[in-house]
Amino acid sequence: MLQRKRRVANLNHMPTVVMRLWLPDIPGTLGRVAAAIGQVGGDVVGIEILERGSNLAIDELTVSLPEDASLDALIAAVTELDGVTIEDVYHVETDRSEQSVLALDVAARIMETDDANRLDTACALLRKLLHADWCVIANATDAANASPIARSGTLPDLQWVAAFLDGSSHLPPDIAQEHTPADIAWAPIGGLDATIVLSRQRGAFRLRERQHLALIARIVAMALLVATQSEVAAHEPVRGA
């Protein structure tokens, strides 16, 4: 169930921003938003549909602004549209790729990393991709008593992480996500008995972001499986020797 909220970061003037918007899920709405952005000199250079439901859509628009444009004017122009609410606005690099491309880049960089550093790399890259405050890969059945397998950022008490995993990881993925707090995203790493957990304060994780996380977790699991099989094969005696 979508829950409406609005939070706009306090930003100085920036040339490129991402606007996370709540929109009526009806034809023509994005056109009205793009027109309002154009009236204040902005140019929509990217659109990502994060979630849809209850006749609403949550979209992220990447907007390029000219040097003399006013961010306040941009926000005002969008908020004046009927049914449109701004959840978040934040600065990004001018040449930032679309989120789906960034997710593919993360997957590729994880695969390119050596086996010993792959999980640490995955944590760091996922934290950046999803704008998370922290990321941890923990043992799914004993997170409280075992050291984190990998981490990025300042972690909370692992007792809390363990309690969360204990209460969620046994549920089917579609049901589990419904009972997951909006500021938490997680995905199991098959074959490792481990789970990736991320958290952020800047806004809820949306369906598309959770899907990216789940798919990257599957890629990590496959990379680990291939590495294990290669190691086993390297130690097997050569037939006929």
pLDDT score for 178: 67
Strand, coil or helix: 233 = helix
Q: Poorest-confidence range of 66-70, 80-84, 109-113?
A: 66-70
The pLDDT of residue 121 is 96
| Amino acid in position 211 | Q
| Residues of the domain holding 113 | 99-235
**Is the residue at 103 inside a domain?**
yes
Q: What is the pLDDT of residue 219?
A: 93
Residue 173's pLDDT is: 61
Domain co-membership, 206 together with 108: yes
Residue 136 CB burial class (10 angstroms; 0-12, 13-18, ≥19): buried
pLDDT at 4: 47
Clarify whether residues 83 and 164 are in a common domain: no
Which residue among 91, 123, 151 closes a domain? Answer: 91
Q: What are phi and psi of 98, to 5 degrees?
A: -65, 155
Query: What does the pLDDT read at residue 90?
Result: 85
Q: How far apart are the first and last CA of the chain?
A: 63
45, 63, 91 - which closes a domain:
91
141 falls within a domain: yes
| Three-class HEC string of 117-182 | HHHHHHHHHHHHHCCCCEEEEEECCCCCCCCCCEEECCCCCHHHHHHHHHHHCCCCHHHHHHCCCC
Residues 37 and 130 in one domain: no
Q: What is the CATH number of the domain that holds 55?
A: 3.30.70.260
Same domain, 81 and 135: no
Which of 63, 91, 119 lies at the terminal end of a domain, its last residue?
A: 91
Residue 124 included in any domain: yes
Q: Is residue 5 part of a domain?
A: no
Residues 30 and 144 in one domain: no
Which residues, 6+ apart, have CB-to-CB distance to 174 below 8 Å? Answer: none
Supply the mean pLDDT for the chain: 84
Q: Same domain, yes or no, for 118 and 78?
A: no
pLDDT digits (tens, 9 = 90+) for 136-182: 998 877 766 767 899 999 988 888 888 877 777 666 666 666 667 88
On whether the CB atoms of residues 84 and 4 are closer than 8 A, the answer is no
Taking 90 as the threshold, does the pLDDT of residue 193 lie above it? no
Does pLDDT of 68 surpass 50? yes
- 216 pLDDT higher than 90: yes
Name the DSSP class of 204: P
pLDDT surpasses 70 at 2: no
Q: Is residue 11 part of a domain?
A: no
Q: Higher pLDDT residue, 49 or 100?
A: 49
Q: Count the alpha carbons within 13 Å of 128 in the hemisphere toward its beta carbon.
A: 14
Query: Does residue 22 sit in the same domain as residue 107?
Result: no
Over residues 56-78, mean pLDDT: 90
Tell me how crowded residue 217 is: count the other CB atoms within 10 A of its CB: 22
Q: Which contiguous run of DSSP H or E holds residue 231? A: helix 207-235
Please write the tens of the pLDDT for every residue from 11-37.
Answer: 444 588 999 999 999 999 999 999 999
Q: Residue 187: which of 198, 178, 202, 179 has the closest Cα?
A: 198
Tell whether 240 is covered by a domain.
no
Q: Mean pLDDT across the stretch 46-61?
A: 91
**Mean of pLDDT values over 193-207:** 89
CATH number of residue 105's parent domain: 3.30.450.270
The verdict on 172 and 63 lying in the same domain is: no
Confidence (pLDDT) at 1: 40
Residue 36 covered by a domain: yes
Give the lowest-confidence range in 90-99, 111-120, 171-180: 171-180
Question: Residue 226 and residue 149: Cα distance in Å, rounded?
Answer: 19
- 83 lies in the same domain as 105: no
What one-letter code names the amino acid at 176? A
Whether 111 and 182 map to the same domain: the answer is: yes
Question: Would you say residue 30 lies in a domain?
Answer: yes
User: Contacts for 113-117 with beta carbons within 8 Å, 24 or more apart?
Assistant: 115/224, 115/227
Number of domains comprising the chain: 2
Q: What is the pLDDT of residue 10?
A: 43
170 and 207 share one domain:
yes
* Of 32, 108, 88, residue with least CA distance to 206: 88
226 and 107 housed in the same domain: yes
